Amino acid sequence: MNGAEIGGIRRIRSVKDTVNFYDDKITATNSTSMKKNHIDFSMKPSSRTRELHRARRDIGRYKETRWTAESSKAETESDLSNAKKMVKDLSSMIDESSNMAKTQMRYIERLEKWGKGQQGAMVVAKRNENYEYAQVMRELEYLKNELFKLKLDVASVMKDKSRVEKEIEASNSMMLTCLATVEVLKKEIEEANEDRRKLKDVIEEIDESKELEMKLVVTISDVNLLQNELKTVKEMEKRVQGDWSVKKLEGSFSKEEELEDYVMLQTITEELVAAKKELTLVREEDFWFMAYMDVIRNKLKIVIAEANRLKKKEGKVDSTVQNLNSKILRAKTKLEVVSAVEEKARSIVRSLSHT
């Protein structure tokens, strides 16, 4: 094994330190995100529609980040497979070195047996063989230690990979929850808009009812006036009938005056009948107006109760949007850190495979 391969083995040790560094970064980022969310929550909430658009943009960016993380994970798995292959190669090389050392040991033993009679001539060669054997054994021991460390680093990387996969699954579940929450918010906003339209229609009906109340007051005044006129007509009819009987007894009026009085009496009678009909119609309209006003009052009560319910629901929706934004920020931070860890691990494994 050359120095470049040994240097590659040493470089892979930094994977665990890199993962620990990014774990600390996750903790610090989550703490900063929580503080920021606390500050944002204390501020005055904006409209629900604006928050919904912002949540949609965050979810879009979150999908892109998740796609990048999954792509990086696939590349990391490929690089990890290459690293495992390299571990197997190192194990094979160590076995070969061990076999070579055993062969040399057997060769040295044969030389020792054979060189009893030629001990003086073989002293220098034996020393050289012993030196080479010791050097091979030291290198073999070093390779065993490096292989053990490399196995530990690979196990740590596998553990971190499993943790990252679990975080990605949790992030996917959170994204589905966020999408479901967005759909619920959309439906609630549509319902709120529909309720506002109904409220506007009811307010217009209330304005119309006020106009009808004014007309009703005028109509009642006209009814009172007609009733007074009707009383006056009845009194005039009585007087005319009394005058007619007197005129008939006395015979002091001419036929021409009698005809005029008769025409006048008939006209007054027709006006009286028309006034009675108009009074009946006015009373019917009055009854209808009063019933309509009762309906309007009931609608107004319902609208007031619905407006209070909408205010409470709006407060809950604003709180839900704030919580959704904070969850999206935390998920984005975790994905960024996971992507950075995978990128770092991939670069280390790539450099190791190149060496």
Q: Are residues 257 and 348 in the same domain?
A: no
Count the Cβ atoms, other than its own, within 10 Å of residue 62: 20
Average pLDDT, integer, range 112-139:
61
Asked whether residue 278 falls in the same domain as residue 170, the answer is: no
Average predicted confidence (pLDDT) for the chain: 65
DSSP letter for each residue of 212-265: HHHHHHHHHHHHHHHHHHHHHHHHHHHHHHHHHHHHHHH--S-HHHHHHHHHHH
Residue 116: strand, helix, or coil: coil
Question: Is the per-residue pLDDT at 31 higher than 50?
Answer: no
Looking at the domain assignment, is residue 235 inside a domain?
yes
- Average pLDDT of the residues in 251-258: 50
Q: What range defines the domain where residue 250 resides?
A: 204-306
In-domain check, residue 199? no
Number of domains in the chain: 2
Are 167 and 57 part of one and the same domain? yes
Give Cα 3 to chain centroid, integer Å: 54
Q: Residue 315: inside a domain, yes or no? A: no
Residue 215: other Cβ atoms inside 10 A: 12
Do 189 and 296 fall into the same domain? no
Q: What is the pTM of this model?
A: 0.33
% of the chain exceeding 70 in pLDDT:
33
* Integer Cα distance of 339 and 30 in angstroms: 16
171 and 247 together in one domain: no
**Tokens read off for 299:** 């609608």
* One domain, residues 56 and 132: yes
pLDDT of 6 > 50? The answer is no
Q: Residue 141 class from Cβ within 10 Å (0-12 exposed, 13-18 middle, 19+ buried)?
A: exposed
| pLDDT digit string, tens, across residues 191-237 | 777 877 877 777 777 677 667 667 667 766 766 776 677 677 667 76
Contact 93, 147 (CB under 8 A): no
Q: Is 269 a residue whose pLDDT tops 60?
A: yes
Tens-place pLDDT, residues 89-105? 766 776 776 677 677 66
